[in-house]
Structure 1
Amino acid sequence: MPDYSIRSATEDDLTILLSWAADEGWNPGLDDRSAFQAADPSGFYVGCIGGTPVTCISAVKYGTDFGFIGFYICHPDHRGNGYGWKLWQHAMASLDERTVGLDGVVEQQANYKASGFEFAHRTIRQSGISMVDTPMDPRLTTIGQGLFPSIRDYDLQIFRFPRVDFLKSWLDPMASSRRGFALVDDGEVKGYGTLRQCAEGFKIGPLFADTADIADTLFRALAGQVKGQVVFLDTPEPNTHAEELAERYELSPEFETARMYKGKNPNLPLDHIYGVTSFELG
């Protein structure tokens, strides 16, 4: 293995990672870099030959109990040499004894199973042209700094693990390519979602809500911002209301991944998850 070394990814490396993800057809967001790095600055790695990255992976830590693997890519010119496997082992070791989650593409699921991961459920990438208008609902509010503590607490109920720094960056109103709405009823957050511009179209996620009706209102609030444009929504298959929402607005299945865990399944409240945040970070 000639001159192969592993190191933490720099900010410039993250730009390379995102470009590789785009080449793989994963369609990352235009402003994902800062939020992803905020999630865990030490959670991204590259494998290099002669100092040049040829493999990458993320192993983001959420508190002391959970981690998530993503961005597992080997440059096409260097596949089949074992570089990716060495980086995988390094990343998994960095997560210590945490439960580890990932969203695996179909062709890699057998490999993940061999590494001790167990299938939890399918997640379906849905896509279509937004043909909705933003509803005139007085409970809808844009997400600003004043609402952040309530969003943070609500997110913890659904995501299960703390990701405060990620949310601060993800919901930053200065990020012009992202927009967020919450539905607040009697002073309590009942759901929230974000829309972000990607290389192709716009992704909606997370989309967390107490009920199907609230999820529908939030979806229309977000998709209505980009009427006539392509939108994507990644729905966990066990949430049948999420699939019904996608069908109602004529979104079609594009591909699927499998949510898999190594360690204790956190048993997420999938009936409240209508769109996952990202395949890279969970």
Structure 2
Amino acid sequence: MDIRAMKREEVDWAVQLAAKEGWNPGLSDAECFYRTDPEGFLIGLLDGEPVGCISAVRYPEGFGFMGFYIVLPEHRGKGYSLDLWKVAMDRMQGYNAGGDGVVEMIPKYLSAGFNLAYRNIRYGGSPPSLARNSPDVVQIGPNSDGLHVTFDEVAAYDRRCFPAPRDSFLRCWLNNPSYAVVSDGRLKGYGTIRRCWEGFKIGPLFADDAAVADELFRALCHRTDGEGPVFLDVPEPNAAAVKLAESNGLKKVFETARIYTGPAPDIDLDKVFGVTTFELG
């Protein structure tokens, strides 16, 4: 099997594979993912035909994240997955590599040199009709209500909740409907919602506290116009985030194991009410 970096259109193929696996990616994820690290998405080819993929995305400051680990069903059990894994891990040499894996595989992750940090819980459902009812909530991105908040302010807040700068990703991601809470001249949180193969996903949802998170959650849910379910990926250690999801009628869908090859990064996990994506962290 030949393994190389994907071309841009091949990332679309990887997203489609993820959808078939039931991971419910966003409809426009591929572009933002690719911009984050064009060399970070690997494809395995057998006689020129794709049989599997994996991502090993490098961020600045020695942080990386792995995902999209998929082999076509008809090619499983032939060693191709291990070949992909080895190449991805080679690319992560010198990086603290994170990932969101299935809980049942925790023993294998530990034996491969990863450390279990905590669990992320995906909540989903149809929340009650929520109005965008706070004057402190402003839209950000290309369709903003005005110059209430700058990109640099959003990026600085994001840096408190994510282990590395990711400006290229954010400049793309904020093209999705995105809101911030600005009070007393200070940014107190922001969030994004995107349409997925099924319903919508909110992520990230970063906020100073539960009250700010609730304001953002309401504004983001309001953008769905009542269409389809809403999903929110919550870090289990943040009890306020768990309460936010459950108090709005969302139910547990599944869990992942957040793992790292090094120590868990020092971020404000109590401000993470919604993980950005299970694919890129």
Structure 1 length as normaliser, TM-score? 0.94
Find out whether 1:119 has 2:113 as its counterpart: no
- The letter of the residue matching 1:127 is G
- The letter of the residue matching 2:89 is M
Name stretches of at least 5 consecutive residues in structure 1 with no aligned partner.
173-177
Corresponding residue for 1:17?
14
1:79-94 to structure 2, matched below 5 A, reads 79-94=76-91
Q: CA deviation at 1:56?
A: 0.4
- The letter of the residue matching 1:152 is A
Find out whether 1:154 has 2:151 as its counterpart: no
Identify the range of structure 1 (110-119 vs 69-78) with the bigger mean alpha-carbon deviation. Answer: 110-119
- The letter of the residue matching 1:121 is Y
1:93-242 to structure 2, matched below 5 A, reads 93-144=90-141, 146=147, 147-172=150-175, 178-228=176-226, 229-242=228-241
- The letter of the residue matching 2:101 is G
Aligned 8 A contact 2:160 2:267 in 1: no
Q: CA deviation at 1:225?
A: 1.6
CA distance in 1 between counterparts of 2:186 and 2:164 reads 20
CA distance in 2 between counterparts of 1:58 and 1:186 reads 41
1:63-82 to structure 2, matched below 5 A, reads 63-82=60-79
Aligned 8 A contact 1:134 1:225 in 2: no
- The letter of the residue matching 2:179 is F
Q: CA deviation at 1:227?
A: 4.2
CA distance in 1 between counterparts of 2:82 and 2:105 reads 13
- The letter of the residue matching 1:237 is E
- The letter of the residue matching 1:273 is V
CA distance in 2 between counterparts of 1:186 and 1:152 reads 19
Q: 3-state DSSP class of the match of 2:104?
A: helix
Q: CA deviation at 1:64?
A: 3.3
Cα deviation 1:114-173 (Å, max 9, x = unaligned): 11011110110100113232332111111136521110111011113110000001112x
Q: 3-state DSSP class of the match of 1:69?
A: strand
Aligned 8 A contact 2:57 2:66 in 1: yes
**Alignment length, in residue pairs?**
274
CA distance in 1 between counterparts of 2:41 and 2:141 reads 29
Corresponding residue for 1:262?
261
CA distance in 1 between counterparts of 2:269 and 2:7 reads 34
Cα deviation 1:217-248 (Å, max 9, x = unaligned): 10011012214331000000000001110111
CA distance in 1 between counterparts of 2:54 and 2:107 reads 19
CA distance in 2 between counterparts of 1:110 and 1:76 reads 23
CA distance in 1 between counterparts of 2:80 and 2:59 reads 26
Name stretches of at least 5 consecutive residues in structure 2 with no aligned partner.
none
Corresponding residue for 1:272?
271
Aligned 8 A contact 2:61 2:164 in 1: no
CA distance in 2 between counterparts of 1:224 and 1:182 reads 14
Corresponding residue for 1:36?
33
- The letter of the residue matching 1:236 is P
Aligned 8 A contact 1:134 1:222 in 2: no
Corresponding residue for 2:242?
243
Cα deviation 1:73-116 (Å, max 9, x = unaligned): 11101001111111111111112211110001123222211110
- The letter of the residue matching 1:212 is A
